[in-house]
Amino acid sequence: MKAALTLVLVLITLAARAGDFRPPAVPLVTHDPFFSIWSTTDHLADAMPVHWTLENNEMMGLVRIDGETYRFMGKWPRGRWPENAPAMEQKSVEVWPTRTVYTFAAAGVELVFTFTTPTLPDDLEVLSRAVTYLGWDVRATDGKKHDVRLYFDAAGDITVHDDSQASQGARFDLAGHQALRLGNREQPVLQRSGDRVRIDWGYLYLVVPTQEGSDTTISRSRTARSLFLDDGVLPESDAFLGPRAHNQSSHRRDLPVIAASFDFERVGRNSQSRHVLLAYDDVYSLEYFRRPVRPWWNRDEKGVEAMLLSAIADYPSLVQRCREFDQEMVSDLEKAGGHEFAHLAALSYRQAMAAHKLAADYEGTPLFFSKENASNGSIATVDVTYPSAPLFLLVSPPLLEAMLAPVIEYAMSPRWKFPFAPHDLGKYPHANGQRYGGGEKSEENQMPVEESGNMLILAAALAQAQGDADFAKKYWPKLTEWAEYLLEKGMDPENQLSTDDFTGHLAHNTNLSLKAIVALAAYAGLAGQIGDAESAAKYRKQAEEMAGKWVEMAADGDHYRLAFDKPGTWSQKYNLVWDRILGLDLFPPEVARTELDWYLSVQNEYGLPLDNRSEFTKLDWIIWTATLAEDRETFDKLVGPVYHFANTTPDRYPLTDWYWTHDGKRRGFQARSVVGGVFMPMLTDQESWQRWVSRSGSLR
Specify the pLDDT at position 529: 98
- Asked whether residue 240 carries a pLDDT value surpassing 80, the answer given is no
Asked which of 230-239, 346-355, 494-503, 627-636 is least confident by mean pLDDT, the reply is: 494-503
Give 265's pLDDT tier (boundaries 50, 70, 90): confident
Residue 146 CA, chain-centre distance (Å), reads 40
Residue 247 CA, chain-centre distance (Å), reads 31
Specify the pLDDT at position 497: 81
User: Contact at 8 Å (CB) between 257 and 224?
Assistant: yes
Specify the pLDDT at position 699: 86
Give 19's pLDDT tier (boundaries 50, 70, 90): low
Specify the pLDDT at position 253: 73
Residue type, 428: Y
Q: What is the mean pLDDT of residues 189-217?
A: 96
Q: How many CB atoms lie within 10 A of CB 384?
A: 27
Q: What is the mean pLDDT of residues 244-258?
A: 77
Give 32's pLDDT tier (boundaries 50, 70, 90): very high
Specify the pLDDT at position 84: 76
Give 254's pLDDT tier (boundaries 50, 70, 90): confident
pLDDT per residue as tens digits for the range 280-294:
999 999 999 999 999
- Nearest 5°: phi and psi at 617? -145, 175
Asked which of 238-252, 472-486, 556-570 is least confident by mean pLDDT, the reply is: 238-252
Q: What is the mean pLDDT of residues 14-29?
A: 80
- Asked whether residue 10 carries a pLDDT value surpassing 50, the answer given is no
Residue 210 CA, chain-centre distance (Å), reads 32
- Asked whether residue 258 carries a pLDDT value surpassing 60, the answer given is yes
Specify the pLDDT at position 9: 40
Give 245's pLDDT tier (boundaries 50, 70, 90): confident
Q: Give the integer Cα–Cα distance in Å for 547 and 550.
A: 5
Residues sharing a CB contact under 8 Å with residue 414, sequence separation 6 or more, in sequence order: none
pLDDT per residue as tens digits for the range 322-344:
999 999 999 999 999 999 999 99
Q: Give the integer Cα–Cα distance in Å for 208 and 205.
A: 10
- Asked whether residue 613 carries a pLDDT value surpassing 80, the answer given is yes
Task: For 610-676, give the DSSP string.
Answer: SBTT-SEEEHHHHHHHHTT-SSHHHHHHHHHHHHHHHHH-S--SS--SEEETTT--EEE--S-GGGG
Residue type, 190: L
Tell me what percent of the residues of the chain surpass a pLDDT of 90: 90
- Nearest 5°: phi and psi at 680? -55, -45
pLDDT per residue as tens digits for the range 509-554:
999 999 999 999 999 999 999 999 999 999 999 999 999 999 999 9
- Asked whether residue 11 carries a pLDDT value surpassing 70, the answer given is no
- Asked whether residue 243 carries a pLDDT value surpassing 50, the answer given is yes
pLDDT per residue as tens digits for the range 271-325:
999 999 999 999 999 999 999 999 999 999 999 999 999 999 999 999 999 999 9
Q: How many CB atoms lie within 10 A of CB 441?
A: 9
- Asked whether residue 13 carries a pLDDT value surpassing 60, the answer given is no
Helix 304-354 to helix 632-648 angle, to the nearest 10 degrees? 110
pLDDT per residue as tens digits for the range 567-604:
999 999 999 999 999 999 999 999 999 999 999 999 99
Specify the pLDDT at position 81: 58
- Asked whether residue 608 carries a pLDDT value surpassing 60, the answer given is yes
Give 191's pLDDT tier (boundaries 50, 70, 90): very high
pLDDT per residue as tens digits for the range 85-144:
999 999 999 999 999 999 999 999 999 999 999 999 999 999 999 999 999 999 999 999
Q: State the burial class of residue 688 (Cβ atoms within 10 Å of its Cβ: 0-12, 13-18, 19+).
A: middle
Specify the pLDDT at position 5: 37
Tell me what percent of the residues of the chain surpass a pLDDT of 70: 95
Q: How many CB atoms lie within 10 A of CB 534?
A: 8
Specify the pLDDT at position 79: 56
What is the residue-averaged pLDDT of the chain? 94
Q: Give the integer Cα–Cα distance in Å for 84 and 82.
A: 6
Residue 456 CA, chain-centre distance (Å), reads 24
Cis amide leading into 429 (omega within 30): yes
User: Contact at 8 Å (CB) between 332 and 682?
Assistant: yes
